[in-house]
Every structure is written in C-alpha cells, then in structure tokens.
Amino acid sequence: MKTTGIVRKIDKLGRVVIPIELRRALKVSSKDALEIFYEDNMLLLRKYEPSCIFCGNATNVTTYKGVNICPECITRMQKHLNKNVV
C-alpha cells in the first residue's frame, strides 16, 4: 500500500475530504460513487463500477430489477430459456 502523508480530520457529520491530488490520480470526480470496505482495521475506498452479477464484466452493464447484467449474459440466458421452452 502506498502512503501519501496526507492527514484529514473527520467533521461532525462523519465526512472527510479526499484531496484533489488523490482524486485526480484515481480519476474520481465529485459525482462519482465510491465503494467503502473495511479490512484489517483499515477503510478502503474504490471507485464504484457496476459489474455483471454473473461474470463480473463491467462493460455496457444493464440494471434490471436492481441487478446488473452484461449483454453477453443476457444473450446466454435468452438462449438457455429458448432451449428449455417446449
């Protein structure tokens, strides 16, 4: 893990400002969603990229009833369903 030497305080509402240098390096802008993880006594932030629930692909993902599905998996499901229709 790379350390930056930057220290920020948490405000009364639990917010912390991510320095612009880090946001630029990670290509995170003000409206981007972040995933927050807790691991080994550390908080980890990662830019949220929706991915397919089945294969993990993050390209051209469609959300259907709260589930992210890629076009390839949709095609596979359609073929599977058509195969099982009597």
Domains and CATH numbers, the chain: 1-48 (2.10.260.10), 50-86 (no CATH)
- What is residue 86's predicted lDDT score, i.e. its pLDDT? 61
82 φ/ψ angles, rounded to the nearest 5 degrees: -65, -35
Task: Look at 49 and 40; give whichever has higher pLDDT.
Answer: 40
φ/ψ region of 56 (left if φ > 0, alpha if ψ in -120 to 50, else beta) reads left
**pLDDT band at residue 25, thresholds of 50, 70 and 90?**
confident
What average pLDDT does this structure show over 51-65? Answer: 91
Inform me whether the pLDDT recorded for 53 exceeds 90.
yes
- Euclidean distance between CA atoms 48 and 26, whole angstroms: 12
Contact 73, 80 (CB under 8 A): no
Q: Which residues on adjacent β-strands are paired with residue 68?
A: 63
Query: What's the pTM value of the predicted model, to 2 decimals?
Result: 0.56
Amino acid 23 reads R
Cβ–Cβ < 8 Å for 34, 50 = no
